[in-house]
C-alpha cells in the first residue's frame, strides 16, 4: 500500500470482522496524529488506547501513517505510559505480542498542564516534527484530539488547542475534537459549555461521543426498522403497546461514589445513553443515510417528547449507598430511576416509552423491549401467558428474539410462549464484534458524524430532563430505598403495570449455547 493512500479494509459480516463490506480508499491526504489528552487516566488506559490498538491490529490504522501522542499533567516517560496501558489490550494480547510491541512504539508522551501554553506548544512541536518526518505538506495533515478528561477542563483545553495546536485545513487536512460525556449537568450548563467550545470550533469539527451509539445492536436498529418489510406496518401506535429501554447493573458505585453522587443515574445513563437509543427506536425514516439526515430525524423525536410528569417517575437508592465515605450522609442522588416518556406525534401518540436504569440490581443487562398489543378475539385463551415482544439485547450476549405463542408439543391443544431467536455468538461464530469505542474513533477519522450528538440534539435532550433533575436536586423528589440484588423499588413495577406493560410469568429467555 502506497504512503499516499490510506486503505481501509471493509469485510463482510460473515468474515472475521464485522466493520463493513468492501474495500474503500480514503482520498490522498497527510499523516494522521491522534492525541489522547488525559492519557494517564482510567478512561484512556481502559477504553481509548485499547480501541486504538484493536484498530491498529485489524489494519484500520497503518503504522506508516499514524502516530499517537499521550498528553497529561503526570510527569512520566514514554515507556512508563506504554507499560501502564499494555495490560489493558485484552486477554488475547499475549498471542499478538509482536503487534502489541509495534503499536506501543507508535506512542509518544508529552507532559504539561491543561490551561497554559507551554505544554501545548511542546505538544505542537512534537506533532509537527512527526508530520515533517512523514513528508506531509503543511496543511494536509490530520489531527484528532481525544479529550479523555473531566468536562470542567474542556474549555481551557480547547482554547489551548485552538491557540497552539491547530492544523491548517486549506490543503485537505483537519483538526477534530472528540468530547466525552457528561456534556453539562443541565440545560444551562450544557448550553454554556456548547457556547464556549462553539466559539473555538465549528460543529463539523466536534464529535460528542456517546459510546452506546457504537454498540453493534444499536447500530443494527436502523437496518432492522427500515430494511425489513414486516416491521414497517407494525412499528406504530396501532400495534405497539409500550416500549422499554432498560439498563441494569448488578454492582454498586464501587469506589466511584463521589463522582456518581455528583450526577446520579439519570444524568449518567438515562439522559444520554437510553435517550439516544429511544431516538433510533422512534425516529421516522431519514431521506438517506447521510449523517445530517439521520440526526435531523433524531432531533424531531426529542422535540416531540412531552414534559415528564412526576407521577410517571420512580426514583430509588440502594441501601448501603451512603456508606461510601465519598458520598454525603444525606445524599438525595438516585441510583435507580424509571421514567415514562410520551412522544406527541402521529406514530407514537399514546405509547409509553419506559426508560429504566439502576445499579446494585439482580442482573446485568441492557435491552430494548417492544411489547405488542393483545391479539383481538383471542380464541386460544392464551393472553394470560404474555404478549408478543420483540427484544433486542444490547449486552451481554448480544441477541434479538421475538417472543411468540406456539402450540405445546403433544396431543393436547395447549399453548406456550417460545421465541424466534438470533443469538450473535451462535449465528456469527468466529466474528469479533468490535468495541463501541473502536467504531466511533474510526468514524471520527472518516469524518462520519452519524453516531455523534449534534448541538441542537444535546439541547433538546437536556430540555426534556432538566426540570425533573432540578426537582430532584432541590429535594422535592426523594428516592425510595431498595435492597441490593433486588429488582429495585416495588413502585417501579407498579408504574410499569400502570403504563400498560404486561409481565410474562413462567417464561425465561435462555441464551443458546454452542
Query: Catalytic site residues?
Result: 273
DSSP for 11-72, please give it: --TTSSB-S-SS-EEEPS---EEEEEETTTSHHIIIIIHHHHHHHHHTTSS-TTTEEEEEEE
The span from the CA of 194 to the CA of 459, in Å, is: 9
Within 13 Å, how many C-alpha atoms sit on residue 340's CB side? 21
For 300, the grid coordinates are 424531531
Report how far residue 9's alpha carbon sits from residue 21's, in angstroms, rounded to the nearest whole number: 8
Sign of CA dihedral 252, 258, 261, 265: negative
Q: Which helix (H) or strand (E) holds 8?
A: strand 6-8
Distance in angstroms (rounded) separating the CA atoms of residues 136 and 93: 32
Helix (H) or strand (E) holding 127: helix 117-133
If you write DSSP's letter for every residue of 413-475 in order, what string do you get? --EEEEEEEEEHHHHTTT-BPPPHHHHHHHHHHHT--TTEE-HHHHHHHHHHHHHHHHHHHTT
- Name 440's Cβ contacts closer than 8 Å, sequence gap at least 6: 207, 209, 211, 213, 214, 451, 452
Sheet containing 174-180, strands listed edge to edge, beginning at the edge strand earlier in sequence: 107-111, 66-72, 32-37, 142-147, 174-180, 206-209, 452-453
Pairing mode of beta strands 66-72, 32-37: parallel
Q: Where in 295-431 does DSSP place strands (E)?
A: 313-318, 336-342, 352-358, 365-372, 389-395, 399-407, 415-423
Amino acid at each position: 500500500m502506497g504512503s499516499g493512500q490510506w486503505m481501509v479494509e471493509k469485510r463482510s459480516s460473515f468474515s472475521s470482522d464485522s466493520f463493513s463490506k468492501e474495500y474503500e480508499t480514503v482520498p490522498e491526504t497527510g499523516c494522521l496524529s491522534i492525541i489522547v489528552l488525559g492519557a494517564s487516566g482510567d478512561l484512556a488506559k481502559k477504553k481509548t488506547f485499547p480501541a486504538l490498538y484493536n484498530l491498529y491490529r485489524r489494519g484500520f490504522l497503518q503504522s506508516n501513517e499514524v502516530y499517537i501522542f499521550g498528553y497529561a499533567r503526570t510527569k512520566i516517560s514514554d515507556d512508563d505510559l506504554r507499560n501502564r496501558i499494555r495490560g489493558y489490550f485484552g486477554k488475547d494480547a499475549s498471542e499478538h505480542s509482536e503487534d502489541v510491541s509495534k503499536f506501543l512504539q507508535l506512542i509518544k508522551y508529552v507532559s504539561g498542564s491543561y490551561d497554559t501554553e507551554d505544554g501545548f506548544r511542546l505538544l505542537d512541536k512534537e506533532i509537527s516534527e512527526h508530520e515533517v518526518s512523514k513528508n506531509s505538506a503543511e496543511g494536509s495533515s490530520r489531527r484528532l484530539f481525544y479529550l479523555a478528561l473531566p468536562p470542567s477542563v474542556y474549555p481551557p483545553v480547547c482554547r489551548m488547542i485552538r491557540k497552539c495546536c491547530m492544523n491548517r485545513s486549506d490543503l485537505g487536512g483537519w483538526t477534530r475534537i472528540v468530547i466525552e460525556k457528561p456534556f453539562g449537568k443541565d440545560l444551562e450548563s450544557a448550553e454554556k459549555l456548547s457556547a464556549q467550545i462553539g466559539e473555538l470550533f465549528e460543529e463539523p469539527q466536534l464529535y460528542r461521543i456517546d459510546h452506546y451509539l457504537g454498540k453493534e445492536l444499536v447500530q443494527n436498529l436502523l437496518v432492522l426498522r427500515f430494511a425489513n418489510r414486516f416491521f414497517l406496518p407494525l412499528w406504530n401506535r396501532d400495534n405497539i403497546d409500550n416500549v422499554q429501554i432498560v439498563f441494569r447493573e448488578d454492582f454498586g458505585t464501587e469506589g466511584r461514589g463521589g463522582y456518581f453522587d455528583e450526577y446520579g443515574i439519570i444524568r449518567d445513563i438515562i439522559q444520554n445513553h437510553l435517550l439516544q437509543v429511544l431516538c433510533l427506536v422512534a425516529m421516522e425514516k431519514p431521506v438517506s443515510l447521510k449523517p445530517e439526515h439521520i440526526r435531523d430525524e433524531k432531533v424531531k423525536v426529542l422535540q416531540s417528547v412531552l414534559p415528564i410528569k412526576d407521577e410517571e417517575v420512580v426514583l430509588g437508592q440502594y441501601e448501603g449507598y451512603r456508606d461510601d465515605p465519598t458520598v454525603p450522609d444525606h445524599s438525595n442522588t438516585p441510583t435507580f430511576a424509571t421514567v415514562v416518556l410520551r412522544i406527541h406525534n402521529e406514530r407514537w401518540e399514546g405509547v409509553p416509552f419506559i426508560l429504566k436504569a439502576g445499579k446494585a440490581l439482580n442482573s446485568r443487562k441492557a435491552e430494548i423491549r417492544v411489547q405488542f398489543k393483545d391479539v383481538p378475539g383471542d380464541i386460544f385463551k392464551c393472553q394470560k401467558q404474555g404478549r408478543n415482544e420483540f427484544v433486542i439485547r444490547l449486552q451481554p450476549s448480544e441477541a434479538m428474539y421475538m417472543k411468540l405463542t406456539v402450540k405445546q408439543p403433544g396431543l393436547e391443544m395447549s399453548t406456550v410462549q417460545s421465541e424466534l431467536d438470533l443469538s450473535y455468538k451462535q449465528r456469527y461464530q468466529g466474528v469479533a464484534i468490535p468495541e463501541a469505542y473502536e467504531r466511533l474513533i474510526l468514524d471520527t477519522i472518516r469524518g462520519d458524524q452519524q453516531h455523534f450528538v449534534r448541538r441542537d440534539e444535546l439541547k433538546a435532550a437536556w430540555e426534556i430532563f432538566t426540570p425533573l433533575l432540578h426537582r430532584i436536586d432541590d429535594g422535592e423528589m426523594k428516592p425510595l430505598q431498595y435492597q441490593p440484588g433486588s429488582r429495585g423499588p416495588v413502585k417501579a413495577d407498579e408504574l410499569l403495570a400502570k403504563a400498560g406493560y404486561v409481565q410474562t410469568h413462567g417464561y425465561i429467555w435462555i441464551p443458546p449455547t454452542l
